[in-house]
Structure 1
Amino acid sequence: MVGIHSIVAVAVAIIMLPLTAAQPFRYSTCAGGTYDDAATSTFKGNLELLAAALPGNASATPAGFAAGTVGAVPNQVSALALCRGDTDAPTCRECVAASLPGARRDCPGSKDVTVYQDACVVRFSDQRFLDFVGVNSPYAVSYWDADSLAVPEARFDAAVAALMSAAADRAVAAAAASSSARKKYFATAVMDFDAPYPRIYGLEQCVPDMSAAQCRSCLRNLVASIPGFLNGKPGGRSLGIWCNLRYSVRPFFNGSAMLHLSAPASAPAPTVVPSVDTPKAGAGAGRKRRAAVGVSAGVACLVVFILIFSAVAVIRFKGKVATKNDLFNTAALEKMARAKCMIFDFLTLQEATENFSEERKLGQGGFGIVYKGKLPDGQEIAVKKLLDSATGHGLLQLQNEVQVLATLQHKNLVRLHGFCVHRKEMMLVYEFIKNGSLDTFLFEDTRTGNKLSWDQQYNIIVGIAKGIMYLHHDSRIRIIHRDLKTNNILLDENADPKIADFGLARLLGDHTQTKTATVAGTYGYMAPEYAMHGSVSPKVDVFSFGVLVLEIVARRRNTSFDDCDNVKNLLSDVWNCWTKGMMSQMMDQNLEGYSRTQALRCIQIGLLCAQPDPDDRPDISSVVFMLTRDNMELQAPAQPAFFFGRDSTVVSQPYEQRVYVYDRSDVTVNEVTLTDPHPR
């Protein structure tokens, strides 16, 4: 039986998109991990049990609200449904019932989805968010009508602020006057205005289990966010799980307005309802409230990107030359403003990571340090804090990574929750992946005690390939990662791989290749045509994938040093063993039978992906087919591209094949042609 839980919180946050009047309204936010969609999945069964109960439970109550939790961790599912206060029971039931199919279409396999529709809001999650009284989920949604405003903006915005402030008070007052045990926080209001808008209509609502003070705080935060999100818009809405509001110059609610306001004065001063997070004399209390809120509600994505753009402009003005391909052009900013981004409050991230303590540190890369954090509602996150020493490049990385990840949804890609810009500090907030990066499992298992089985290793290889195929073929725009390596592959609790770190990703659009003046990547994984000439195509990622496959099967880094400090190159060693028929010495000695055959097949695929000429490499869709079709015959690989350190001994190659010498100190690649016709 579905239990009913007490739920309260403050609605905040930010995802912005325009909405035309002709569009049916439905929007889904996807978060958390993914679940198995098989018929035997326990999580799926618990979710379907809740989905069957919620429509009837919500439509049967005067408040149009129901919530419940089913199952046990890790397959536990919590959910709530809140119908709009002016809907009848059949409409409420129909809206809630349509939410789960809508969630599956919008967020396939996601464990944490919120579906916003005209008549209801529904959320289900593997997080016990119903247990956290006074804490909101880390997002809300703001939409606006796409029409242009036909009256002076300042006067209209002031009227909307006054209307919505009055509606918030009325919603709280209506619940206070109710004798029902479950109070209905709901109000509709109308204000007389000027031609061509004779009236402005408004609606506000909270979940019924909130206290009056909590509902008022929730609504005031949304009202306070209007100047940041909806200024100059003839209609808009801010939708949270715990409360929501909507206004429009067109009538949209059922029945007569509960509150009727006269037209505002001819020249009103703009009115902004104070946010509950506004600092007061009691600074400590204010800090705690800000931490509870979790996400800034008063700043729009567009504003932040304009600030980022301005910062980059200053940096370039002081000595950097802008190019025609600058990521921070107007078109890019417009795309970024439409991204599903969430802006996190700095204090929340500071408290979530215990002030970015060393104990919370997960790792460090060239441009940032990653910390583990925990939000007030219990959700675990990973926060990448960009280094001050890399501010100029870090700004570019931040903009690029948000733009790429904000629109991507795939089980083998790490999910970006949002970001934070605080003074000169910049942070990206990701889902927390429990088991960390692949390199610790492959190369440090004796220290960590982690040991992957062959089945897990093969699943990781296939998962990485499928993630790359999504980037190259199935996402809205073709994306080249450019920095695929073992420490950019994260493993979840089931050892399923997730590709991370899109700071160097390149968007190709409809093109098949492009060039870059700046070559950036990681030694040993860069394709020769990219390292030498800056040529970027999907085959760049295929080359990196080939190196990854060989590292996974051999459980050895692509470059290492022997006791005499000589460079040992994995591609060289694998090819040498392959030509001599001695591949067994490169593989786990415990592999037998089918697993051994599968590992040899993976090595052959890895060599095919690491060919010097990009035209000789398969595309990633063919790679996935090779990996999942055991009966597919593979062609014999030619000699792969080799990389050596500058001080290493260059071994002659047959058939005038190119040998690429890589200088690790400055990411410069030199081409050397050797003509020795003798084999190794």
Structure 2
Amino acid sequence: MPAMDSSRFLFCLFPILFLIINQALGQVCINEKGNYTTNSTYQTNLNRLLSSLPSDENGNGYGFYNASYRLNSSNEHIYAIGLCRGDVKAEGCLSCLNKSRYALPQSCPNRKEAIGWYDDNCMLRYSNRSIYGVMETEPSTTYYNINNVSSSDLDGFNQELRKLLESIRSEAAAGGSLRKFAFGNTSAPSFQTIFALAQCTPDISEQLCSDCLVGAFADISSIYGKVGGGVNKPSCKFRFDLYPFYDPTSVKQLPSPPPIHSPPPSTNTTNTSQGSKSSKSRTVIIIVVSIIASLLLAMFMGICLRVRKAKKKLQSNLIPDEDVDEIGSAESLQFNFDTIRIATDDFSEANKLGQGGFGSVYKGRLFNGQEIAVKRLSVNSGQGDLEFKNEVLLVAKLQHRNLVRLLGFCLEGVERLLIYEFVPNASLDHIIFDPIKRAQLDWDRRYKIIVGITRGLIYLHEDSRLRIIHRDLKASNILIDEEMTPKISDFGMAKLFGVDQTQGNTSRIVGTYGYMAPEYAMHGHFSVKSDVYSFGVLVLEIVSGQKNNSFRHGENMEDLLSYAWKCWKEGTASNLIDPALTNGSRNEIMRCIHIGLLCVQENIPDRPTMNAIVLMLNSYSVTLPVPSQPAFFRDSNVGSDMTLGWKNSSEVITTGSDRSKSSSVKAPEHEVSLITEVYPR
């Protein structure tokens, strides 16, 4: 058969041969790394990791994906890497990886380590050992075109093939940290053209990539004399054939380096007149362009200065000067929206923990196994992106075991998500005000909660970098973890002070009826003693097991503070104690009632500081002063005044069949505050 006819015949066979090559790519299951049990936690986490691998968060934008997952019960991890061929488009890449994440575990059931190459488009591998940045050449697979090179052309064919492979090896290895991929073609004997490509995983160095490909080229001896074939290794691959099996137009361009400006070309001196005119024209153009550029630069700088000034003005209302420079670190706390969507199972109803006036709360689990509570703020929150990021930074800086920890945020389009640590036992009001649940809350646990809240407030008032007045301390804003440790939450109404500032005034009153100090409710005056007042109400609620605004004594409904004061005056303060408290130190309980009454005194200086309170709780050698009458602002002429300029709202939080309502006074939308009400219910 003539050479040209032979080439046409082979070209017609290429689709069939390509199918044969693809079938040969296959998977490799590695025995020595151990097995996992079917339906085990390991298998669940492996499937979770593989499902999250082809996402923007785990990809570098050029077909390389890397992720890991830490098992809950040990330090064992699962690692996964995905790599698409450099000329495969994004949709084809994701399609290949999504198919492979199902195919590989099925082909290698219960194996902790496996690797597979699919459709010559992508590679997927996973292991229980770290594989990122490690150059590995085994296991490997070899495949080939079943047709042979003509014996008369063999030497010339192999000589040209080696030159081509060496050329693309150097180019692929030098590709950089985003992609190590190269392709090319060369002329071979008998009017043939050899096409080839080479690729490494971009997580290895240039030298390691080069070494891997050299080793892969050495394996070509097993397919010697074939017109096409390839070798796949964990860290690199190459392929060659007599037809263009790759698509150069689909290769995504890498970021270009900054242009290097060449000096202006020299003037042609052979024509003085034309050169002079050309020089004048260039001079005029340069002057005009320079003037326009200067005007644009001046306008740009003016806009930047105005934005910077506005930004500083906003930040000055939020944080001290020494923290302004840290605003840029907000991006380090930002989560990818798809990551949170996957963690919450697309914000499913099954994961919904509660519904509040500012949005819904969902339980989620990150790729590393960490449980989270996600607050999905309502779209009409009226907050700008800069304000939102600043608030996130402020709350993220509050690190204390008795404060709920903010892990980060997500800001994408209209979506505003706050990601908090998950606190499993919901809020204190769901326990202390439930007649069944509070019976399980003995005095030791209640005392631990009181002490924990005290320590959290001391941190806010004295020990944190910023002096913070919470302004909405109440039972529903105290979360309880699995060890019954209390964590203060909801900084949506908090006020920030400089270290030396102790009090302030506002015309916008925010807080919850029954917990607000009288000077704040009537005059907008707030200080650390405002939080002390709320703490005192909370202590009396914990001791009595009843709400401050609906205290039941027999058949009568009374105000908790009124009843507590009446019992104290009559020497019957023990009547305030929750009947469910059948054990515990009676002296300790009575001391807490005493402290609670000291906190709710009308005269602000008479109220103790939180530092004094922790001393009272821990030392019985400290003599407690006699409390004065609490401020009963319900009985004063406050009713009509309290509603002026206020924005009333109520929230309904639902957990299973439990429903609780609390009427609060929230800040108007333009009020500068911290993150609003985020907690699992």
Q: Provide the TM-score with structure 1 as the length reference.
A: 0.50
Provide the C-alpha distance between the structure 1 equivalents of 2:259 and 2:395, rounded to a whole number of angstroms. 46
How many aligned positions are there? Answer: 403
**Does residue 489 of structure 2 align to residue 500 of structure 1?**
yes
Is 1:598 paired with 2:588? Answer: yes
1:636 equivalenced with 2:626 (yes/no): yes
User: Is 1:619–2:609 an aligned residue pair?
Assistant: yes
Offset at residue 622 of structure 1 (A): 0.7
CA contact (8 A) 2:452 2:485 kept: yes
Among 366, 382, 390, the alignment partner of 2:357 is 366
Match for 1:536 among 518, 526, 529?
A: 526
- 1:343 paired residue number: 334
Question: Match for 1:358: what amino acid?
Answer: E
Instruction: Tell me if 1:405 matches 2:395.
Output: yes
The C-alpha deviation readout for 1:253-278, integer Å capped at 9, x for no partner, is xxxxxxxxxx975159xxxxxxxxxx
Q: Report how far residue 449 of structure 1 moved.
A: 8.0
Asked whether the 8 Å contact 2:319–2:466 carries over to 1, the reply is: no
Q: Label 1:516 to 1:337 Cα distance change in 2 as closer, same or farther (>3 A).
A: farther
Which residue is 2:379 aligned to? 388
Q: Which amino acid aligns with 2:487?
A: K
- Cα 1:553–1:507 shift into 2, 3 Å: same
Quote the Cα distance in structure 1 between the aligned partners of 2:328 and 2:315.
21
User: Offset of 1:418 from its aligned partner?
Assistant: 0.4
Cα 1:569/1:377, change in 2 over 3 Å: same
Change (3 A) 1:553 1:661: farther
- The aligned residue for residue 171 of structure 1 is 204
CA RMSD of aligned residues (A): 4.9
Deviation at 1:471, TM superposition (A): 1.0
Aligned residue in 2 for 1:475: 464
Cα offset for 1:557? 0.8
CA distance in 2, matches of 1:349, 1:432: 14
Q: Which residue in the other structure is 1:570 paired with?
A: 560
1:525 maps to 2:515 = yes
Percentage of matched positions with identical amino acids: 43
Contact 1:398/1:428, CA 8 A, preserved across alignment: no
Contact 1:412 1:467 in 2 (8 A): yes
Change (3 A) 1:575 1:378: same
Query: Given that residues 435 and 493 in structure 1 are in contact (C-alpha distance below 8 angstroms), is that contact kept between their aligned partners in structure 2?
Result: yes
Once the two structures are superposed, what CA deviation does each residue of 1:620-659 show, in whole Å capped at 9, x if it has no partner?
1111111111222111111112243xxxxx3xxxxxxx67
- The structure that has the greater radius of gyration is 2
The aligned counterpart of 1:432 is 422
In structure 2, the CA distance between the partners of 1:659 and 1:78, relative to structure 1 (3 Å rule), is: farther
- In structure 1, what is the Cα distance between the partners aligned to 2:319 and 2:415? 19
Aligned to 1:516: 506
Alpha-carbon deviation of 1:403?
3.1
Which deviations, in whole Å up to 9, do the C-alpha atoms of 1:541-592 show, x marking residues without a partner? 1111111111111111111287999973211111111111222221133646
622 and 449 in structure 1: CA distance in 2 versus 1, 3 angstrom threshold: closer
CA distance in 1: counterparts of 2:493 and 2:599, whole angstroms: 21
Letter in 2 for 1:438: L
* 8 Å contact from structure 2 (residues 442, 583) kept in 1: no
**Cα–Cα, structure 1 residues 12 and 597, in superposed 2: closer, same or farther, change >3 Å?**
farther
- Alpha carbons of structure 1 residues 486 and 635: separation in structure 2 relative to 1, 3 Å: same
What residue is the counterpart of 1:555 in the other structure?
545
Residue pair 1:372, 1:382 contacting (<8 A) in 2 also:
yes
**Which deviations, in whole Å up to 9, do the C-alpha atoms of 1:101-156 show, x marking residues without a partner?**
xxxxxxxxxxxxxxxxxxxxxxxxxxxx9969999xxxxxxxxxxxxxxxxxxxxx
SS at match of 1:601: helix
1:346 Cα deviation (Å)?
1.4
Could you say if the C-alpha distance between residues 177 and 662 of structure 1 is closer, same or farther in structure 2, counting changes exceeding 3 Å? farther
Q: Residues 520, 473 of structure 1: CA spacing in aligned structure 2 closer, same or farther, 3 A cutoff?
A: same
More helix by share: 2
Tell me which amino acid in the other structure corresponds to 1:347.
D
Q: Deviations over 1:74-100 (max 9, x none)?
A: 7x55699xxxxxxxxxxxxxxxxxxxx
Secondary structure of 1:490's partner? Answer: strand
Is 1:460 equivalent to 2:454 in the alignment?
Answer: no
**Partner-residue secondary structure (3-state), 2:440:** coil
**2:599: which partner in 1?**
609
Aligned CA distance change for structure 1 residues 662 and 466 (closer, same or farther; 3 Å): farther
1:409 is displaced (CA, Å) by 1.2
The AA in structure 2 aligned to 1:379 is: Q
Check the 8 A contact 1:400/1:503 in 2, yes or no: no
Q: How far off its partner does 1:426 sit?
A: 1.0
Aligned 8 A contact 1:13 1:343 in 2: no
What is the match of residue 260 of structure 2?
Answer: 266
CA spacing shift, 1:328–1:426, aligned 2, 3 Å:
farther
Where do 1:129-528 residues align within 5 Å?
A: 165=178, 169=202, 171-172=204-205, 174-175=207-208, 212=235, 266-267=260-261, 327=318, 334-338=325-329, 341-389=332-380, 391-392=381-382, 398-399=388-389, 401-446=391-436, 451-509=440-498, 510-528=500-518
Assess if the C-alpha contact under 8 Å between 2:433 and 2:546 holds in 1: yes
Gaps in structure 1 of 5+ consecutive residues:
15-66, 81-128, 136-160, 180-209, 214-223, 232-262, 269-305, 314-321, 645-649, 651-657, 670-680
Quote how far apart the aligned CAs of 1:452 are.
1.2
Per the alignment, do residues 596 and 566 of structure 1 end up closer, same or farther by CA in structure 2, a change over 3 Å counting? Answer: closer
Q: CA deviation at 1:524?
A: 1.2
Q: Which secondary structure state, in structure 1, belongs to the residue aligned with residue 539 of structure 2? A: helix
Q: CA deviation at 1:355?
A: 2.5
- Give, as a single letter, the amino acid of the residue that structure 1 aligns with 2:260: S
1:515 Cα shift? 1.9
Q: Secondary structure at the match of 1:556?
A: coil
